[in-house]
Amino acid sequence: MDGTSDVIVVGAGVIGLSIAWRVAQRGLSVTVVDPAAGSGASWTAAGMLAPVTELHYEGRELLALNVESAARYPAFVADLAETTGMDVGYRRCGTVVAAWDAADLAALRDLHAFQVSLGVDSHLLTSRELRAQEPSLAAGLPGGLWAPGDHQVDNRLLHRALVRAATAAGAPLVSARVVGWRQAGERVTGVLTDDGRQFSAGTVVLAAGAWSGVTDGLPDPAVPPVRPVKGQTLRLRGPRELLGHVVRGSVRGNPVYVVPRADGSLVVGASSEEAGFDVRARTGAVFDLLRDAQTLVPGLSETEFVEVSTSVRPGSPDNAPLIGPSPLPGLLYATGHYRNGILLTPLTADLVTGLITGTGAVPPVCDPQRYAAEEART
Amino acid sequence: MDGTSDVIVVGAGVIGLSIAWRVAQRGLSVTVVDPAAGSGASWTAAGMLAPVTELHYEGRELLALNVESAARYPAFVADLAETTGMDVGYRRCGTVVAAWDAADLAALRDLHAFQVSLGVDSHLLTSRELRAQEPSLAAGLPGGLWAPGDHQVDNRLLHRALVRAATAAGAPLVSARVVGWRQAGERVTGVLTDDGRQFSAGTVVLAAGAWSGVTDGLPDPAVPPVRPVKGQTLRLRGPRELLGHVVRGSVRGNPVYVVPRADGSLVVGASSEEAGFDVRARTGAVFDLLRDAQTLVPGLSETEFVEVSTSVRPGSPDNAPLIGPSPLPGLLYATGHYRNGILLTPLTADLVTGLITGTGAVPPVCDPQRYAAEEART
């Protein structure tokens, strides 16, 4: 046995690391295993913290989860800053949604009514108010929405800070890939890694993002229903004053957003494709993002083109995460966060910590057992 | 004195290195000085060898030079392969020019008549012939041109081979920036570098591309009239069978080309901007290249997006190069190659070698003295 700890976390993205950090803070010993920490969706994400403007009609159950996690962000980043001395770019900038044409504005009005019915803070903007709020938007856009509570964090800084925080809390990072699972009967008792080592623990948390569904050697019934959904983002660099808020919209039906960092960087996202684990940047997706983003913010054409980033999000059958017990004792899930992984990081860490320390339960919307219950019903 | 040689070449792009190689082959000692060999236009270029399809109405004097250099390519790369063992991707693939609309086709027909009047090998294609020649072209393009003699070379491999050839011939590469010039009276006798060294030579060749006009310490009358013209290219990767020939066209008046390498790489180029020495990739230029290239070759959208490359070409007042004596004895120019640097590499090397060994002269079209003569006339 190469290591025994209370908890093993498989996956060192923001989800896995925040769990490791929080659990280690409670005095438990934690080992984190990942062959390439933070190289997945945590790296490619744009860092929008957008419970309101990510809300879709079918997503009302997820809304409470997203709102709750957004509410925990200020304390989460403050705690992280205290631990690590790092500023992770949490920016209370609000989000503007620009309508692209009259039909899009009509759809936004309906969405706004739905949002208001759920009690979230969202305001309709006239064309004039829209440009007053964000003068770099294209002239002639017919109106939009203002979601003052939809903020952002720099996901790459967040990941770096979480590496430091988890390490400082005594949760070492093992740079290896999980290729097998130790079991005692049904119970999961540890993992085997591709460098031939074995680790055991009382609890194993599967937090491997899109790769959670393809972890070698996990018995079939314990494989979570998570699939890779390819996403591309672009990094640009422009004048700091170009945008003051997150800007998003739907141009000819294609969703696009631009997240302005405090240093003048701009993240443009995001494509969404079902392409397995192919994380090569696709030319057509780069083009579509540039076209749609420039349509909303023409000044982007004069920015510096810095980077294309591609990864796979962990999609789930109902787009809500899987947080909680797996079918096997000893194995917890913290995966399937799809488009909301950065946003749901503080809450996920707290929920999993509560389960491990026996001090909390998870809400039904993210309980992995809901799929089994669903199957039993039908 | 940190080094004395027969010849110093300032600049280790393909022009400077090919001169160094050829001169060293004649038994002269050569020193090449460059702070970042091959990081400029030699790296960003697409490697088209296109005397015919680069021909413009005002460029008939340049045509003979381009045709002559293209004719020297087979022997040049064969010699290089023999010396270095390297294949530099010289590919006799021919070039297709696609007309974008009827007006563009009419312009191509006029250009074809001009080309034929100058005796070059160029053929009009009907819409059907165009797609038969290159099936990946967009449907409905009205016709085009076929220039069977416009080929390509992999400019990055070419540069790497030239580094090896020059080194093997005994021309060492000094990694430093020229910050001053040694003179004896009018005569240039060497250079000073930013690491405090001094080098002397009987002849100094200025082959610093776009930077030839900003070399510190050169007396004003000896500064060549070369300006930076920013250019961006994209590297994509697709199926090897996507394109069989270089494809170029002018979409809504914007020139664009796609150069397919044998390994499935594709180089898309090139923007053209006057932006000083700002070599940051501009988002709008990336977008325009993608838009125009995809308009001609829709299948590019499914390729992998690999790289954006930006550099500055050495533009000259009449777009022809400056090859030959400067106003100062001891100093030769080999610069100002603008869009034809890769193409003109073999001929430039031969012309400069001829001047240095006293066995040749340069044609008037590229003689740097033509500007002084022009001024004297007006």
In order, the DSSP letters of A34-95 are -SSTT-SHHHH---EE-TTTT--GGGHHHHHHHHHHHHHHHHHHHHHHHHH------B---E
Q: Would you tell me how many other CB atoms lie within 10 Å of the CB of residue A1?
A: 9
Q: Would you tell me how many other CB atoms lie within 10 Å of the CB of residue B58?
A: 9
- Distances from the Cα of B249 to the Cα of A73, B97, B106, angstroms: 52, 5, 13
Question: How much is the CA Rg of chain A, to the nearest whole Å?
Answer: 21
Q: What pLDDT is attached to residue A295?
A: 97
What amino acid is encoded at A101 in this protein? D
Q: How far is CA B96 from the centre of its chain?
A: 20
CA-based nearest residue in chain B for residue A304: B282
* Inter-chain CB proximity A304 and B281 less than 8 Å: yes
Read off the tokens for B341: 């640097």
Among A292, A305, A310, most B C-beta atoms within 10 A, so best to mutate, is A305
**Interval B216-231 mean pLDDT:** 93
Q: Is B344 on the interface with A (CB under 8 A)?
A: no
- What does DSSP say about strands A48-49 and A246-251: parallel, antiparallel, or unpaired? unpaired
- Distances from the Cα of B328 to the Cα of A291, B7, B185, B331, B375, angstroms: 51, 15, 10, 6, 18
What amino acid is encoded at A349 in this protein? A
DSSP symbols for A301-321 = GGSEEEEEEEEEEEE-TTSS-
* Inter-chain CB proximity A302 and B283 less than 8 Å: yes
* Inter-chain CB proximity B294 and A287 less than 8 Å: yes
Read off the tokens for A181: 């699972």
Q: What pLDDT is attached to residue A378?
A: 62
* Count of pairs with CB atoms under 8 A, one residue in A, one in B: 67
Q: What pLDDT is attached to residue B217?
A: 85
Buried b vs exposed e over A305-335: b needs ≥16 C-beta within 10 Å? bbebbbbbbbbbebbbbbbbbbbbebbbbbb
**Interval B306-315 mean pLDDT:** 97
Q: What pLDDT is attached to residue A215?
A: 80
Q: How far apart are CA B55 and CA B62, in angstroms?
A: 8
Q: What pLDDT is attached to residue B56?
A: 82
* Closest approach of A294 to chain B, Cα-based (Å): 9
Residues of A with Cβ-Cβ distance to B285 under 8 angstroms = 305
CA-based nearest residue in chain A for residue B232: A305
- DSSP symbol at A138: P
Please name the residues between 279 and 308 in chain B that touch chain A, using a CB distance below 8 Å. 280-287, 290-291, 294, 300-306, 308
CA-based nearest residue in chain B for residue A298: B284
Q: Is B254 on the interface with A (CB under 8 A)?
A: no
Residues of B with Cβ-Cβ distance to A304 under 8 angstroms = 280-283
* Inter-chain CB proximity A300 and B283 less than 8 Å: yes
Q: How far apart are CA B216 and CA B321, in angstroms?
A: 21
pLDDT < 50 stretches in chain A: none
* Inter-chain CB proximity A287 and B287 less than 8 Å: yes
Q: What pLDDT is attached to residue B377?
A: 67
Residues of B with Cβ-Cβ distance to A294 under 8 angstroms = 283-284, 287
Q: How far apart are CA A254 and CA A246, in angstroms?
A: 17
List pLDDT tens digits, range A350-378.
999 999 999 999 999 999 999 876 667 66
Q: What pLDDT is attached to residue B57?
A: 82
* Closest approach of A339 to chain B, Cα-based (Å): 23
Q: What pLDDT is attached to residue A206?
A: 98
Q: How far apart are CA A48 and CA A50, in angstroms?
A: 6
3-state secondary structure B101-157: CHHHHHHHHHHHHHHHHCCCCCEEEEHHHHHHHCCCCCCCCCEEEEECCCEECCHHH
Q: How far apart are CA A213 and CA A312, in angstroms?
A: 12
Mean pLDDT of chain B: 95
**Interval B292-310 mean pLDDT:** 98
Q: Is the pLDDT of residue B2 over 90?
A: no
Residues of B with Cβ-Cβ distance to A300 under 8 angstroms = 283-284
* Inter-chain CB proximity A304 and B286 less than 8 Å: no
List pLDDT tens digits, range B93-108.
999 999 999 999 999 9
Q: Is the pLDDT of residue B378 over 80?
A: no
Q: What pLDDT is attached to residue A377?
A: 67
Among B283, B300, B309, most A C-beta atoms within 10 A, so best to mutate, is B283
Q: What pLDDT is attached to residue A231?
A: 97
Could you say which of A280, A283, A290 has the minimum Cβ distance to residue B283? A290
* Closest approach of A357 to chain B, Cα-based (Å): 46
* Inter-chain CB proximity A281 and B308 less than 8 Å: no
Residues of A with Cβ-Cβ distance to B287 under 8 angstroms = 287, 290-291, 294, 301
Q: What pLDDT is attached to residue A217?
A: 85
DSSP symbols for B29-96 = -EEEE-SSTT-SHHHH---EE-TTTT--GGGHHHHHHHHHHHHHHHHHHHHHHHHH------B---EE
Residues of B with Cβ-Cβ distance to A289 under 8 angstroms = none
Q: What pLDDT is attached to residue A98?
A: 98
* Closest approach of B265 to chain A, Cα-based (Å): 13
Q: How far is CA A323 from the centre of its chain?
A: 13
Residues of B with Cβ-Cβ distance to A302 under 8 angstroms = 282-284
List pLDDT tens digits, range A286-338.
999 999 999 999 999 999 999 999 999 999 999 999 999 999 999 999 999 99
Q: What pLDDT is attached to residue B215?
A: 81
CB B153 within 8 A of CB B45: no
Could you say which of A237, A283, A306 has the minimum Cβ distance to residue B290? A283
**Helix, strand, or coil (residue A274):** coil
* Closest approach of B308 to chain A, Cα-based (Å): 8
ipTM: 0.91
* Inter-chain CB proximity A283 and B303 less than 8 Å: yes
**Helix, strand, or coil (residue B17):** helix
